[in-house]
Amino acid sequence: MKDIIYKVSEEVERALLDEKPVVALESTVISHGLPYPENIQTALKMEEAVRKEGSIPATIGVLNGVVTVGLSQKEIEYLADTNHTILKVGVGELDYAIGMEYSAATTVSATSWIANFFKIPIFATGGIGGVHRGVEKTWDVSQDMHSLGRIPMMVVCAGAKSILDLPKTLELLESYGVLTLGYQTDCFPAFYSRESPMKLAHTVQTPLDAAYVLMSRLKTGIPGGIVLCNPIPIEEAVPYEELESIINEAVIEADRNHIEKKAVTPFLLSRLSQKTDGRSLKANKALLFHNASLASKVAVEFGALRRRSKKTIGF
């Protein structure tokens, strides 16, 4: 096994040392979330969105067993290339990729753990994983849920992935003590849709509000994270009723064709893309940029609060 299992880019390392705002970004969207070459373009544009609002992007992945914080463009291109074997790892599988010296894309749970290890408290993604539909039969619940319940991290997202059981996902977040905030909304967004029947009890109106809440979480030491739900831009949103109709039909089709376990998610996403004439792919990219931008704004405000604070918060 290699002696070095972590590598931090010079830019990210310098930003952390200088206490500049840094935003963590995941790599699953590069390797498994979007088609080639749009995955490369999207990853680079997410980094650009972070920079535009004043923060340093730290895209995270595993290259030949080395956890890399701050992927270079060449490394992003490697993870995006479908000719390469790239694992998809949550926090539970991270050690397998490291120990076996494989390359891997990190999910929300793995990215959160790595970011927290390097004292990066803000992370932008598309949508969190959660409780899958039909969980009564499959017990299929994303590792994201458990990680969000124990890692002090603010995850900026467009809610949970719409193919999930959203009511059960929101209920489990509450059970795990995760603070779920709506950003200028009291609805729990459904990823491609700005609204859903689920209401949120707590909202914030500005990036500064979100930064204050994150500062409080870190000062109190309460375990678990904060999910900051940022609805997709209105011009790219898919109406909730249309979304649910397509997903319900796809779920029935998957069951009829005995599509199970890890094959279900790509099947449902494929059907969504087909039934929306590609609008879901366009929406996916739009919400990723939107979340990266908001995360950067929060990181800037958080950095300013931290500099003004005379009390330590653990880092």
* H-assigned helices in the chain: 10-17, 28, 38-52, 73-80, 94-99, 108-117, 135-138, 143-148, 166-175, 207-220, 240-256, 264-275, 279-308
Handedness of CA 305, 307, 310, 314 (dihedral sign): positive
Rounded Cα distance, 113 and 90, in Å: 9
Smallest CA-to-CA distance from 243 within 108, 90, 127, 124 is with 127
75 is annotated as an active-site residue: no
Smallest CA-to-CA distance from 291 within 189, 213, 196, 187 is with 189
Rounded Cα distance, 240 and 281, in Å: 16
Q: SS3 for 276? A: coil
Rounded Cα distance, 6 and 175, in Å: 33
Burial (Cβ within 10 Å: 0-12, 13-18, ≥19) of residue 83:
exposed
- With tokens 């270079």, the residue in question is 72
- With tokens 């590598």, the residue in question is 7
Smallest CA-to-CA distance from 9 within 53, 82, 63, 46 is with 63
74 is annotated as an active-site residue: no
Catalytic entry in 47, 93, 161, 195: 161
Smallest CA-to-CA distance from 21 within 94, 127, 121, 141 is with 121
Catalytic entry in 26, 77, 93, 301: 26
Q: Catalytic positions, please?
A: 26, 161
